[in-house]
């Protein structure tokens, strides 16, 4: 089916996330007309250049032949068009060749990129993280010779963390970095699951690699961050000979076949230190946190793509006696329509969470006062694990429902619905599994300021309830939201008083509760923002908020009860018992 970029929905999400005030404060030369023009142009690009390659990327995929990795058919040319259009440099600092736009705008554009072709979007997504890491921690040489090439997109970036014995536990990393006697280092080791670790779409690939120096202390405190390029970079910026690193193979995956996921072998590769010795985890987390928010956007994107396909199919498929369609299309069946509208509501809630987090990231850098920057940074930190985990769970759920709407046709590869489900499944695993995000939320983010950061968010949500109560047609949304906030506050208070296994067991259901309630609040804000509109699109926002309130927010009190059940029998139940 033809993908249509959801430009109007994205513009609404940016507006209700506070983007206009950000533009007015920190980007006086950037007006809403320019924002709209950028979104429209990005939508046109992805529809024409990237979406048509998505199916071929899934069917043919990246190739590994005679030690050489080739991108899926058409991807290299599309990447060059992407770079030529300036889409790689949206939020980068103009000092390094960037356009200096907002991070939130970049996220909105990248949602369209990922929705049109998720496997393609992973390449520039990782490059954005490399840009942020080098901008903050790179040496003068790296900023002068490497950073501008990453910003322009002439070169791409990767993130090398995982090893066969070291997945989420980075303390187990064993890749070695040995001083070469000339001020540089030589890397020895193997990294796995490296997204776009090798390809033929750009002139050079810049690998950010976690490794240990010979005298490093054990654990995460002994890991440093290094830059190793596929081809060496001379002091004048020209490309030298090939470095001593290579792809050993590419993975055969459930989905995202167009993205080459490589086993990378570092065989004495020349490298430069990035940042401080033995502080690599902190430096890499700049890249990780950027990727976590981007992966949340991926969840929204793949859900949008799956929804659009399911909606189109429902309008074409004739089956049974439909209550609400004269032509017999299954869109007229009440349960099918409920499913589709709930899919759409969750997409818009997840989109709003991600873009609001992006606005907070911008304000954390650019707000006029230190107090405002601190408040924005804390809100960003609180929302990031929710944006990553809740949104990617929505991506899998919506893609699964998309298959369901297709019925048996969805289980057949020819329709394409199955690809979205397969592609979506990696996102809850990427960049710290969703369980890790939940642990981060309850272990680090909720306790910030003694729970004050979440308290402030709940207070802001409560203020919206009064506006809903005063708006005809949205009173019930206000009542459901009020009850949902109360449930979230109750669960938060319990978590602040409980540590250890109780808190860890509650982490995932708590994150779901938080995402459900915050997402409902953001849908309510969109409904309020469009309440005066008389067109179908405007009226649909109130309908989506009402449906979400009845189907999702209504479950919040029960979720809170589940959070407070704690560890219960979990410790005492043995694996032997589970195995029968």
**Among candidate residues 250, 283, 316, the one where a domain is terminated:** 283
325 lies in the same domain as 464: yes
Q: Is residue 500 part of a domain?
A: yes
Q: How buried is residue 580: exposed, middle or buried, by Cβ count under 10 Å (0-12/13-18/19+)?
A: exposed
Residues of the chain scoring pLDDT < 70: 1
Query: So what's the pLDDT on residue 326?
Result: 78
Catalytic residue among 49, 163, 381, 431: 431
Catalytic (active site) residue 431: yes
Judge if pTM exceeds 0.95.
Answer: yes
Q: Is residue 174 part of a domain?
A: yes
Phi-psi region of 510 (alpha: psi -120 to 50; beta: other; left: phi over 0): alpha
Bridge-based pairing state of the strands 239-242 and 231-233: antiparallel
Query: So what's the pLDDT on residue 322?
Result: 80
**Largest Cα span, the chain:** 79
Domain around 13: 7-63+70-142
Q: Is residue 149 part of a domain?
A: no
Q: How many domains does the chain have?
A: 3
**What separation in angstroms does the CA of 470 have from each of 355, 478, 545?**
27, 9, 15
Residue position matching structure tokens 């991600």:
354
Q: Is residue 26 part of a domain?
A: yes
Q: Is residue 372 part of a domain?
A: yes
408 lies in the same domain as 356: yes
Q: Is residue 288 part of a domain?
A: no
Backbone angles phi, psi at 187, to 5 degrees: -95, 135
Residue position matching structure tokens 């004495």:
268
Output the domain CATH number for residue 79. Answer: 1.10.540.10
306 lies in the same domain as 269: no
Q: Is residue 576 part of a domain?
A: no
418 lies in the same domain as 349: yes
523 lies in the same domain as 554: yes
Torsion of CA 145, 149, 150, 156, to 10 degrees: -110
Which of these, 365, 323, 491, lies nearest to 101 by C-alpha position? Answer: 365
Q: What is the DSSP string of 544-567?
A: HHHHHHHHTGGGHHHHHHHHTT-S
387 lies in the same domain as 408: yes
């Amino acid at each position: 089916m033809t993908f249509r970029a959801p430009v109007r929905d994205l513009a609404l999400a940016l507006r209700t996330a506070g983007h206009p005030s950000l533009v007015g404060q920190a980007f006086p030369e950037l007006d809403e007309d320019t924002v709209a023009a950028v979104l429209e142009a990005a939508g046109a690009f992805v529809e024409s250049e990237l979406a048509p390659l998505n199916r071929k990327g899934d069917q043919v995929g990246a190739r590994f032949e005679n030690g050489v990795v080739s991108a899926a058919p058409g991807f290299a040319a599309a990447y060059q068009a992407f770079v030529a259009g300036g889409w790689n440099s949206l939020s980068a600092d103009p000092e390094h060749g960037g356009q200096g736009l907002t991070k939130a705008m970049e996220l909105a554009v990248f949602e369209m990129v990922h929705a049109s072709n998720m496997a393609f979007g992973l390449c520039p997504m990782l490059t954005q993280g490399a840009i942020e890491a080098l901008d903050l921690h790179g040496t003068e040489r790296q900023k002068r010779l490497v950073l501008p090439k990453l910003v322009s997109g002439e070169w791409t970036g990767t993130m090398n963390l995982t090893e066969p014995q070291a997945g989420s536990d980075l303390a187990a990393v064993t890749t070695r970095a040995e001083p070469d006697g000339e001020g540089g280092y030589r890397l020895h080791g193997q990294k796995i699951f490296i997204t776009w670790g090798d390809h033929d779409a750009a002139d050079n690939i810049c690998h950010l690699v976690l490794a240990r120096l010979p005298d490093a202390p054990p654990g995460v405190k002994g890991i440093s961050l290094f830059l190793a390029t596929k081809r060496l970079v001379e002091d004048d910026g020209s490309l030298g000979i090939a470095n001593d690193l290579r792809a050993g193979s590419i993975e055969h995956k459930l989905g995202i076949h167009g993205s080459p996921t490589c086993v990378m072998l570092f065989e004495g590769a020349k490298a430069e230190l990035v940042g401080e010795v033995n502080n690599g985890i902190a430096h890499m987390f700049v890249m990780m946190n950027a990727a976590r928010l981007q992966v949340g956007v991926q969840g929204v994107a793949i859900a949008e793509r799956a929804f659009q396909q399911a909606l189109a199919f429902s309008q074409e498929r004739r089956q049974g006696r439909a209550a609400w369609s004269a032509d017999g299309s299954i869109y007229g069946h009440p349960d099918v329509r409920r499913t589709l509208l709930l899919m759409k509501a969750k997409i818009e809630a997840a989109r709003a969470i991600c873009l609001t987090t992006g606005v907070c990231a911008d304000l954390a850098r650019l707000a006029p006062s230190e107090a405002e920057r601190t408040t924005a940074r804390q809100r960003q930190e609180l929302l990031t694990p929710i944006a990553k985990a809740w949104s990617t769970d929505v991506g899998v759920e919506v893609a699964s429902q998309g298959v369901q709407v297709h019925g048996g046709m969805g289980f057949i590869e020819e329709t394409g619905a199955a690809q979205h489900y397969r592609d979506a499944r990696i996102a809850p695993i990427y960049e710290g599994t969703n369980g890790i995000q939940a642990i981060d939320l309850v272990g680090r983010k909720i306790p910030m300021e003694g729970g004050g950061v979440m308290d402030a968010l709940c207070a802001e949500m409560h203020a919206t309830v009064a506006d809903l109560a005063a708006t005809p047609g949205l009173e019930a949304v206000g009542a459901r939201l009020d009850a949902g906030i109360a449930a979230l506050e109750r669960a938060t208070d319990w978590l602040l008083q409980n540590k250890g296994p109780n808190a860890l067991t509650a982490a995932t259901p708590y994150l779901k509760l938080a995402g459900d309630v915050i997402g409902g609040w953001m849908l309510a804000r969109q409904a309020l923002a469009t309440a005066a509109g008389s067109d179908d699109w405007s009226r649909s926002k109130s309908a989506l908020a009402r449906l979400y309130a009845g189907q999702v927010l209504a479950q919040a009190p029960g979720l809170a009860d589940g959070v407070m059940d704690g560890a219960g029998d979990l410790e005492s139940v043995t694996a032997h018992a589970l195995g029968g």
